Amino acid sequence: MLDGIKLFTGNANPDLALAICQYLDINLGKATVKTFSDGEIMVEIGENVRGKDIYVVQPACHPVNKNLMELLIMIDALKRASAARINVIFPYYSYSRQDRKVAPRVPISAKMVADLLSVAVAHRLVSLDLHANQIQGFFDIPVDNIFSAPVMLKYLKENFGKDLVIVSPDAGGVERARAFAKRLSASLAIVVKRGTQDADTGSWEFIGHVKNKNAVIMDDMVDTGRTLLRAVEALKEVGAATINACCTHGVLSGDSVERIEKSTLETLIISDSIPLGEKEKQTSKIVVLSVAGLLGEAIKRVHHHDSVSSLFV
């Protein structure tokens, strides 16, 4: 039983929130979240939340700043309505790539987002495949970093067979790719840049064997698609039998969908942490796997004070 729990959402990904409610067998909380003509956001909670355990589902996807502001104002509205606990389900953590100073006089924007959520008085954060694990240390509240691996691994096991190689498109993704390769009993390969620092020049090599193998490129997100597609071209040049890709967050900004459609990539497997736009829905190359059950189970375990990490054993 989930007595005393209520789940709300803004406008970022209502379909995911509804799917989580269906998994938990509860109704979506009533809330009005709208924008005035001048761009200001207005939130009104439409039911009693006094003393309740509240979960707010809101990824900070495009438009990033609007969705992030919706979340902050919803937290404030729930706090002022005397909610007992406000747990933020933040599937896509905006600004997560700015997690450290890479040059003088630049911000650590991921820390700033953490500060905003903390000042708004969120009591817990549940996120999905954080870009960098150290972001958890930016908070003084409990943070659960949920992994989409169980959902992705199930699909990969059912659809990809022999001669499988998991490919990390850069050095930063090696740990993630290695974990998948181990679970799938597959080999591991890493893309290595040679020559200039420009992403569109120089040459690309592989650590590992990919020729005549079924390659699956593994990453946490696809934004412009440049990193992904350069890895696809490199795999094609060295003779990979098939080339697919798998990532948690399909940001897919700019003309990334058109570029993916024109490429030799066979499929891009993503989660529904970020909703697809109409343009993305029209391509047959994108496969969407739902993480609603995974997030719903995490909510259930948080509510009952059970282990969340045991989801991934």
Catalytic machinery residues? 193
Residues in the chain: 313
Which of 201-210's residues contact partners 24+ apart within 8 Å by CB, and which partners? 204/230, 204/231, 204/233, 204/234, 205/234, 206/167, 206/234, 206/235, 206/238, 208/165, 208/167, 209/165, 210/165, 210/167, 210/235, 210/238, 210/239, 210/240
Q: Of the candidates 215, 231, 232, which has an alpha carbon nearest to the alpha carbon of residue 160?
A: 215
Nearest Cα to Cα of residue 135 among 88, 97, 170, 101: 97
Q: What is the 3-state secondary structure (H, E, C) of 170-215?
A: CHHHHHHHHHHHHHHCCEEEEEEEECCCCCCCCEEEEECCCCCCEE
Nearest to 253 by CA among 283, 219, 279: 279
What's the rounded Cα separation, in Å, for the pair 166 and 180?
7
Peptide bond into 107 cis (omega under 30): no
